[in-house]
Amino acid sequence: MKYIILFISLWSFSALLNAQVILDSIPEYTNKTYSQRWELESDQRRGTFRLMSYKPIFVTAARWSSNPNNLPQSENPDYSATEPNEYNQLEAKFQLSFKTKVLQGMFWDKGDLWIGYTQKAHWQVYNVNISRAFRELNYEPELIFKYPVNVKFMGGRFKSVGMMFNHQSNGGNLPNSRSWNRIIFHLGYEWDRWIITLQPWIRLNDTDDENPLITNYIGNGEINVAYSYKRHQFYSIITHPFDRWQGGSIQLNYVFPIKGNLRGHAQLFEGYGETLIDYNHRQTTFGLGVSFANW
């Protein structure tokens, strides 16, 4: 697994050098339809090993937290901090996310296999007491299989089914190391300007569990809901355990035009697991920044 993460990290770094050129060649890439995102129609297919945006790409210059996680804890005592940190309530945040298709036309010439990579960073850039250090970095490589469908339902259509192998870790040392592996199933639905994606998952067992009760807090699945209107986009990311009331989170986003291709981004988060180190830590956060690519 370490070699897979290293390979995808190196691949993503080199890909960043050409990312803007490729993205600029796609008109109105920020408001693509679900079919365009995953090249589900035969006339949308562009072949393999073309880099494109995956999850939202944004930079938040100022993110405020109601409850910074100064003493990260885990149900595994080996991964519980004993010395508190001096984190500020205000920090910067950014996310990079890209994907590329590696196999096209699997199973009756319809299914595709993708590799995705997402990296989130929380940077205490305004905190001189800890030398403006990065508080948390999350690395998320994925192997994704998408299969197109076309099923009418309540005025819209189910557009795809599939599954993915997902690894997420923060690359930290004891006691702040966090990681987990999942098999995630997905179902994509599109209706007019609405796109809804359902993603339940199964957590895979770890030999040394750094976060034993992570699904009790972050949950057992995710629902993404996005609505686009001209150059505006609203999207939410909701997680929940589904087998209990407590736990989960909701993230609300508004992306709006500023000038030309520059778009502003407002993000509100409430709940558990904004980052891996915060998987069992509840907080409310709000951030303002700029967005470069969305769902």
Among all residues, which ones are annotated catalytic? Answer: 167, 169
Instruction: Decide: residue 196, CB within 10 A, 0-12 exposed, 13-18 middle, 19+ buried.
Output: middle
Dihedral (Cα; 167, 173, 175, 180), 10-degree rounding: 10
- The Cα 109–Cα 123 span in angstroms is 44
CA distance 81 to 281: 13
- Residue holding tokens 């599109």? 190
Round to whole Å and give the CA distance between 92 and 138: 14
CA distance 71 to 272: 15
Q: Which residue has the tokens 């890439």?
A: 29
Helices and strands (DSSP H and E) totals, the chain: 4, 13
**Which residue in 269, 224, 222, 215 sits closest to 243, CA to CA?**
215
Distance of CA 147 to the CA centre of its chain: 21
CB contact at 8 A, 87 and 285: no
Q: In this structure, what token pair is assigned to residue 277?
A: 């180190």
Task: In whole angstroms, give the CA distance from residue 269 to residue 34.
Answer: 24
Helix (H, G, I), strand (E, B) or coil at 247: coil
